[in-house]
Structure 1
Amino acid sequence: MDRGSKVIILGRNESLKKLGTVQTISLNPLAFEEYRYLLKMLAFGSMNPGDHPQLATIMEEFAVVFEGSLVSANLLGYAVRKNLNAHFWLSTLNKIRITRKVNISRSGCHPNGLFDQGRPVHFGPHHLLSPATPSCLIPSAGCPDSSLPKVILGDLLAEACHIVQPKGDFRLISWESRLPPYTAFVHLVRFVPSCVDDKPEASLSGKKRLGPSA
């Protein structure tokens, strides 16, 4: 084999296949049962979910709403492990449901799909980020302006009452690797006044919905 540099390309864009010189390897998403198990492990850690039946039921709903997103799973696990309170879990679930509903209504696409396509994800009042700051999260191919304030989304979810969200644009860390080289997903969150009038149609409860069967 000839010596020289070799590059491994990881991505979701099908067009990247054209850049390869060997056969591509496709990774299938986790089955729902596998994804649900992963969520529980990330959320409960070494604890037994059976000791927290109400929280385990809520986690089933997160598995339905997230539709297999691994970044969302890690983010949620980071946030809810710090607060094993059913009211907090339900509140977070409802905000995520509303955010999903708003983006599907605006663009016809789940927020996961918008991220994959590099399209903005909108957060209006009473949505995921803040009840007072309508925002637009822009997936970033490069690093946003390093002079902007930085907020870790997991901390924002876990300690919403104790963290003051910047008034204007800021950098949002949605996920950061625990292993070298400590890769992070950094996004630009831009203040969008046009979102001020966006309101959820109704408050969503934590009532169990029918999802994929176990």
Structure 2
Amino acid sequence: MDIVVSAIIGDLISRSAAFVINKYFQQQPGIDKILQRLQRVVMRMDTVVKEAEGRHITSKGMLRQLKILRQGMYRGHYVLDASRFQDFGEDEDEVSYSSTALSRFSQSKRLRLSRNDGGSSNREAALFFVANNSIPEELQHMVDTLEDTMTGMNEFLFFLESYPRIIRQPYGTYLLLDNCMFGRQTEQEQVLNFLLCPSVTPDLAVLPIVGPLGAGKSTLVEYVCRDESVRERFSMILFLPEGCLKNEGVINLTGNNTKIRHQNCTSQNRLLIIVEIAQDINEGTWRRLKSSATSMAPCGGSKIIITSRSERIVNLGTTEALRLNHVRPEPYWHFFKSLAFGSTNPDEQPNMAAMAMEIALEQKQCFMGAHIVAGLLRDNFNARFWRRILECVRANKQTHLLLFRKHPNLRLLEEGPLYNWRLEGSCRYFLVCNYQSDSGDEVPEISARDIILGSGGTLPRGEFEALAWRSRIPPYYNYTIRCIIQAPQPTVGRKKRVPQEECHLI
């Protein structure tokens, strides 16, 4: 009886808190006007960014300004969506008490805007939900900043007209994002400028690219290597995958460990060498690599791109290193929303958009997770199914916080075992023991989608391989997992305690 009374009192308190805070938020006199100003400046930014993305910009200064514009555009869209969808919760009659209470608690929180003052990834997050009375002031500050940014873009718009247009086929947004690299346009142009501009010295030009696991280093380099202007400039594009430079003997750039990505017999004898290393490279090995490249192309003009998760490779560069960080929450929401809703306008389904926003936030900027989960949402476009996925995402997060004190996607970053949720089956979880990526043609017959939906027949007993996701963009990796149908157990993965900063995952 005491438990029932406590539950009723707790429910009444949460309802009262939600009512009071909602009433306060609705009665703020300046909120609506500020949001209208925000919508106008975001529309202007949309127009400029789309025009700029259709031009072949080579100036580093212009690219930096475009990056600022793009960040402001995504941030503005994020705030507008959050303010638009935050009052649309779930149908309380169709969910359990626990998730309903959590939903009310989430709705009673209001937006607080953080300032972009640099620093850690946590401080860079543009939005997070807390009860706070300074919403109008912070929202006003954000809109003022975006308007000042647009005002200072007059020179950018003037010089933009001088850059040639890029011919592209018209595609729907979700089709374009599903088949193209997302969020790295500025970095792509920077790498292209490095490769296509003549070297200042006759020495080998080296560009280091540094970024954490899963930041998209390989994808960025692969996209650049497929550019026609790059293939015309270099006679051969060589790829040295991770691990092939451990041998400190003579480096043979035409040996079995080296993959030839492209050959152009009509071009001048110039090499483009792509080197992937996990951490650091031996000084002697690096010296022999450069010597081999020089002997193969003695006329000069060859270049090296080296990618790593270690900052130590920065000193190897002859130009400023390119640093890739995880995509911020605002553009990630734009990506996830486009994949989940397809050609449907999210404004027409605010209840589902609110659920999608929470699901996207829990993905921690994981692109593989976005493709898997958003694909399920798009293929099962109804509120009941989306609500089930939201409940599974919430429960899986709580399970990992209780067992490992880590968000599941942060355990993925640590490359440790983790549990994933299932919609069907006697056991609602499966344990992912390990995972790998390759670009081979052979893939497991079972997919992660089959495991989640309980389709595809009876699953094997014990450990088995499954295809988590097959990328549609270069280098077309297949992400496979070894997993087992198993309920959460506190002992799983306890032996592997890797200290890792809780940053965003892509």
TM-score if structure 1 supplies the norm length?
Answer: 0.71
Quote how far apart the aligned CAs of 1:55 are.
1.3
Of 179, 195, 198, the match for 2:473: 179
Map of 1:122 onto structure 2: 419
Judge conservation of contact 1:96–1:128 (CA < 8 Å) in 2: no
Residues 19 and 173 of structure 1: CA distance in aligned 2, closer, same or farther (over 3 Å): farther
Note if 1:7 corresponds to 2:301.
no
Quote how far apart the aligned CAs of 1:189 are.
0.3
Note if 1:152 corresponds to 2:447.
yes
With a CA cutoff of 8 Å and minimum separation of 6, indicate the structure with the bigger relative contact order. Answer: 1
Quote how far apart the aligned CAs of 1:163 are.
3.5
Q: Deviations over 1:36-61 (max 9, x none)?
A: 22111011112111222221111111
- The residue type equivalent to 2:470 in the other structure is E
Map of 1:169 onto structure 2: 463
Judge conservation of contact 1:40–1:59 (CA < 8 Å) in 2: yes
Map of 2:95 onto structure 1: none
Judge conservation of contact 1:114–1:121 (CA < 8 Å) in 2: yes
Count of equivalent residues = 189
Q: Distance in 2 between matches of 1:36 and 1:150?
A: 31
Residues 8 and 175 of structure 1: CA distance in aligned 2, closer, same or farther (over 3 Å): farther
Paired residue secondary structure (1:140): strand
Map of 2:122 onto structure 1: none
Q: Distance in 2 between matches of 1:74 and 1:89?
A: 15
Aligned Cα root-mean-square deviation (Å): 3.4
Residues 15 and 68 of structure 1: CA distance in aligned 2, closer, same or farther (over 3 Å): closer
Q: Deviations over 1:177-206 (max 9, x none)?
A: 11355211111103457749xxxxxxxxxx
Residues 193 and 60 of structure 1: CA distance in aligned 2, closer, same or farther (over 3 Å): closer
Q: Distance in 2 between matches of 1:93 and 1:8?
A: 41
Map of 2:354 onto structure 1: 57
Name which one, 1 or 2, has greater alpha-carbon Rg.
Answer: 2
Quote how far apart the aligned CAs of 1:93 are.
1.5
Map of 1:94 onto structure 2: 391
Q: Deviations over 1:71-100 (max 9, x none)?
A: 111111211111111111111111122112
Quote how far apart the aligned CAs of 1:156 are.
4.2
Give 1 or 2: higher helix fraction.
2
Note if 1:103 corresponds to 2:400.
yes
Note if 1:32 corresponds to 2:329.
yes
Quote how far apart the aligned CAs of 1:128 are.
3.0
- The residue type equivalent to 1:6 in the other structure is I
Q: Distance in 2 between matches of 1:194 and 1:102?
A: 8
Q: Distance in 2 between matches of 1:43 and 1:139?
A: 27
Q: Distance in 1 between matches of 2:355 and 2:277?
A: 33
**Sequence identity of aligned pairs in percent?**
22
Map of 1:137 onto structure 2: 432
Q: Distance in 2 between matches of 1:70 and 1:88?
A: 21
Q: Distance in 2 between matches of 1:87 and 1:10?
A: 46
Quote how far apart the aligned CAs of 1:26 are.
2.2
Q: Distance in 2 between matches of 1:175 and 1:90?
A: 23
- The residue type equivalent to 1:136 in the other structure is L
TM-score if structure 2 supplies the norm length?
Answer: 0.33
Q: Distance in 2 between matches of 1:138 and 1:10?
A: 24
Detail structure 1 runs of 4+ shifted over 4 Å in the superposition. 1-5, 10-15, 191-194
Q: Deviations over 1:151-189 (max 9, x none)?
A: 2223544xx254433333222322211135521111110
Q: Distance in 2 between matches of 1:11 and 1:41?
A: 33
Quote how far apart the aligned CAs of 1:8 are.
4.4
Q: Which moved more, 1:87-96 or 1:14-23?
A: 14-23
Quote how far apart the aligned CAs of 1:7 are.
2.1
Q: Deviations over 1:6-39 (max 9, x none)?
A: 2243879975343563254222333333222211
Q: Distance in 2 between matches of 1:117 and 1:68?
A: 15
In structure 2, list runs of 5 or more residues that go unmatched: 1-202, 205-269, 280-306, 491-506
Map of 1:73 onto structure 2: 370
Q: Distance in 1 between matches of 2:406 and 2:454?
A: 30
Paired residue secondary structure (2:432): strand
- List aligned pairs for 1:8-23, cutoff 5 A: 8-9=275-276, 15-19=309-313, 21-22=316-317
